[in-house]
Chains A and B, each alone.
Chain A
Amino acid sequence: MSEVRKIDRREFLKRTGQAGGGLVFAVTFGSACQPDVATEGPVAKASASVMPNVYVNIRNDGRVDIVCHRSEMGQGIRTSLPQIIADEMEANWDMIDVVQAIGHEKYGDQNTDGSTSIRRHFDLLRNAGATARDMMIAAAASTWGVPAEECVAREHAVHHEGSGKSAGYGDLVDVATGMPQPDKATFKSPEDYRYIGKPMDTIDGMAFTTGGAMYGIDTVVPDMLHASIERCPAFGGTATGYDEAAAKAVAGVVDVIRLPEPTSPPMFNAQGGVAVLASNTWAALEGRKALAVEWDRGANATYTSETYKKDLIASASAPGTTVLNRGDADIETDSTFDAIYYAPHLSQAPMEPPAAVARMNEDGSCEVWACTQDPQSARNTLAGVLGLEKEQVTVNVTLLGGGFGRKSKPDFIVEAAWLARETGRPVKVTWTREDDIRHGYLHSVSAQYFRAGMDADGKTVSLLHRTAFPSIASTFAPGVTGPSGFELDLGVLDSPWDVPNMRSETCEAIAHVRIGWLRSVCNVFHAFGAGSFVDELAHLKGRDPKEHLLEMIGPPRKIDPADDGAKYTNYGQDLEQHPIDTGRLSAVVEKVADMAGWGRKLPDGHGLGIAVHRSFLAYVATVAEVSVDEQGRPVVRDIWICIDAGTVINTDRVHSQMEGAAIFGMSIALHGEITARDGAIVQGNFDTYPVVRMSETPTVIHTHIMASSAPPGGVGEPGVPPVAPAIVNAYFAATGKRVRELPLRNMGGA
């Protein structure tokens, strides 16, 4: 595939700041993340152009701007979104320029979260491309005086077969200008796709490999101050004293400003603390060290993980609130088996920590540049905090150096904007890694109780599942005492098990830190619990885990949780269109088992583990092969993943998301653990919060995408949930040791 818009040497130097030896005092964005600076759209003012809709701008030189309204954080949306539009509009790939949208409701939903970019926008984007194509056809037909039906669009031009006439898209811009924008158009037939379903090169490949890619942390605005913020070790505490003079005595420090106290509930607001503002990042960090802030840690100072864990397990061990009920889960059975699973808090730890630049303009408006997953919520939050109208706030979206849910929350942008207003100068706020790990929005700690009842033949006839974890809802509402709402969709209400008597309950858990999303959210621990428990049942019954898993899933059928009294929202999409289809679930199990050679003779000390999970409307099964080293630590030798995500756009990015999910899941299984002591997070950097490194990673992650014409499901998140249970199950197969608490490194070490 051709590289989109090759960068010439001069542009390269300009972009990377090498011209003139180095100093860059301008907002510098390469095409790697060119923000849409005009609120009316990304129109290139230099040349005439026409916009069939907000996503497409056709220039009279033939080049086509495609607006990417979703945030790029590694999932490849800046490539796959244009693939859809360009395919439908019959545009040539080498004539495409991708323009990053600002946060604006005219683009529709921009919240890049929940693996929604394709699954919820496929038709919208196809329509954007198809209507653009029809506009070009209408312009050509009107120029030639022929019926539009006789014209076809192909390879960036319109052709009229009868007369043999052709006109390139650029040549049709003048005629198309002023023509009505078509609302709807017919979509192409899938067999005619040129880009959809194909492996396409990453559009930002050149920028990624030359240092030209611009992230939030890379934004430079003239006269900008650099800020670093010391925050209370426990969330919600207050500074009782600090040495402002000592901080100001550090060379380069310009100002020390105390931020407003955190709100309760925390929402997306800043969390207080003391900011040091300086002429460069290092001076701000040095000034911060000199602050020596004294804290009243406040109500959450009691939060200590050892104690909390006991309480959480006790909560999950007692009856809770029933959220799903089928038959009678308390029915008397021949035998029963129960187990409790525990998983700790996690931090998203994207490689780029939260960072944002804000500037207050003379007219009172505010402009920010940020690595945000959700520019519209950032805009609304900023307007609220600054007392501005939304129209006075512009949110430019940079590339994200990883997101994983952390950058859905604009608190760090709020900090920058607030400090910019206080100082009257543009301010860049850069979080350190320690800030990120200690002061973010953590993935919930969780405890789950499972109990199964078996009949005399060993068939599972009853199942009780209880889950207890501090809810994300606690971040947004007071008085939240446990899981609720959408969180139960993520592996509680959508259980695929073919068990006639089943009950799910939620149990109380209070939050003492800010709780937020992490890639695949509650599916992480729910799949760990269910995937481990079902494997335990297989071994208890002396059954092959894969065959037993298929038996637990049962015959192909479509499950409606409402039949069991559950309020299930199916990731916001129609259950008819996106059913819980146990046939597809079993199919990925069969396929991944084939890929891994399930049942083959393994080297001594090796074990295979399998798990499957449906999330974000996609079905993923994983097999892991695990052995142990001389110290008894688990070694993941191999991973196989099979995904059925329905229709997929960029097959290469789907493979890469599965590879990444395997490694993200390995970090969760082997290493991930955040704990609190007296309200403060104990871990701080990649030494105390290790993530998987290359030496721990299998040489190849084997991935397979099921061919499917079903509507698109999610891709970014669904790969993660089955990884940890597959590894834990493989560790059991290798060692005979069952691990019911994550991470594995606590069980003899990883």
Chain B
Amino acid sequence: MAIEFELNGEAISLDVDPNMPLLWAIRDIAGLTGTKYACGKALCGACNVHLDGQPVRSCAVPASIAAGRSITTIEGLSSDGGHPVQVAWREFNVAQCGYCQSGQIMTAAALLERNPDPTDDDIDLAMSGNICRCGTYPRIRQAIHKAAEDKS
């Protein structure tokens, strides 16, 4: 069954089992590998994408959820890596291995959409669903504050 939706601003039709998790539809079928698998159980946030602007864990929702809606992945967050969150991430050299950072950035971008000037506690609350094994959390906090400044 074909699922029609908007992926990073472009109309797309994916012929997949509607029960396939959105993560695998994005990675294996649509071929966008920036969205990462790390737990498969909605425990780590590496697979976070935006569904109509809201962050969702793509490993834990079926592809069918996308039908008629708009999905944004890390590849579509900006055309040139110029989203304030992406820019701040580079300014603070947040990434170590980089693997979880797509999910971190998507979660942070959604946070700033609903809360343009988050406190440390707001950031902790929003970001604690995202695991980073390299331990980049202090720089993630700094970068979110900086992105908030740059956006305002």
Contact surface of A with B, Cβ cutoff 8 Å: 3, 7, 9, 12, 16-18, 21-25, 28, 72-76, 201-202, 204-215, 217-218, 220, 226, 251-252, 280-283, 349-353, 399-404, 430, 432-433, 652, 656-657, 659-664, 685-687, 691-695, 697-701
Contacts and interface: CB of A to CB of B under 8 A. Distances in A.
Contacts of A73: 97
Interface in B27-46: 27-41, 43-44, 46
B34 A402 contact: no
B28 A660 contact: no
B24 A282 contact: yes
A590 to B, nearest CB: 25
Contacts of B93: 201-202, 205, 652, 656
A693 B131 contact: yes
A17 B131 contact: no
Given A16-B75, A209-B105, A349-B133, A433 B41 contact: yes
Given A28-B33, A204-B95, A220-B33, 12 more contacts: A23-B31, A206-B81, A208-B101, A211-B73, A217-B36, A351-B36, A351-B132, A402-B97, A432-B40, A660-B135, A662-B135, A691-B133
Contact of B96 (A18, A280, A660, A662): A660
Nearest to A660: B135
A74 B132 CA distance: 11
A209 B90 contact: yes
B38 A699 contact: no
Interface in B82-118: 86, 89-90, 93, 95-102, 105
A322 B40 CA distance: 47
A220 B27 CA distance: 10
Interface of B: 7-8, 10, 12, 17, 20-21, 24, 27-41, 43-44, 46, 73-81, 86, 89-90, 93, 95-102, 105, 120, 123-125, 127-141
B27 A281 contact: yes
A282 B139 CA distance: 34
A252 B132 CA distance: 33
A167 to B, nearest CB: 34
Contacts, number: 225
Contacts of A3: 90
B134 A74 contact: yes
A433 B135 contact: no
B38 A433 contact: yes
A352 B127 CA distance: 19
Q: What DSSP secondary structure best describes chain B's contact surface? A: loop
Given A201-B90, A699-B141, A660 B136 contact: yes
Contacts of B12: 21-22
Nearest to A219: B33
Contacts of A226: 28
B99 A352 contact: yes
Given A251-B17, A351-B36, A207 B31 contact: no
B34 A212 contact: yes
A698 B139 CA distance: 11
B44 A686 contact: yes
Q: Which of A17, A75, A351, A433 has the most CB of B within 10 A?
A: A351
Contacts of A693: 128-131, 137
24 contacts: A17-B30, A22-B7, A72-B97, A208-B98, A209-B90, A210-B74, A210-B75, A211-B74, A214-B33, A217-B37, A280-B20, A281-B24, A282-B28, A351-B99, A351-B131, A352-B99, A401-B97, A433-B39, A433-B40, A659-B138, A686-B39, A686-B44, A694-B123, A697-B137
Contacts of A215: 36, 99
Q: Which 9 A-B pairs have the closest CB atoms?
A: A211-B34, A401-B99, A663-B135, A74-B97, A74-B96, A24-B31, A660-B135, A208-B98, A211-B74
A632 B24 CA distance: 41
A226 B95 CA distance: 28
A694 B27 contact: no
Contacts of B76: 18
A9 B80 contact: yes
A18 B100 CA distance: 21
Contact of B133 (A7, A202, A351): A351
Contacts of B138: 659, 697-701
A24 B11 CA distance: 17
Contact of A18 (B8, B81, B135): B8
A14 to B, nearest CB: 11
B1 to A, nearest CB: 11
Nearest to A226: B28
Contact of A76 (B36, B44, B96, B120): B96
A656 B139 contact: yes
B137 A352 contact: no
Contacts of A404: 133
Nearest to A76: B96
A686 B43 contact: yes
Q: Which of A12, A281, A400 has the most CB of B within 10 A?
A: A281
Contacts of B31: 17, 22-25, 220
Contacts of A210: 34, 74-75, 77-78, 81, 86
Q: Which of B8, B39, B76 has the most CB of A within 10 A?
A: B39
Given A205-B90, A693-B128, A694-B123, A350 B39 contact: no
A11 to B, nearest CB: 11
A211 B75 contact: yes
Contacts of A207: 98
A29 to B, nearest CB: 11
Given A220-B33, A281-B24, A282-B28, A353 B38 contact: yes
Given A351-B44, A656-B96, A211 B135 contact: no
A9 B79 contact: yes
A400 B128 contact: no
B24 A280 contact: yes
Contact of A281 (B28, B132, B136): B28
Nearest to A201: B93
B92 to A, nearest CB: 10
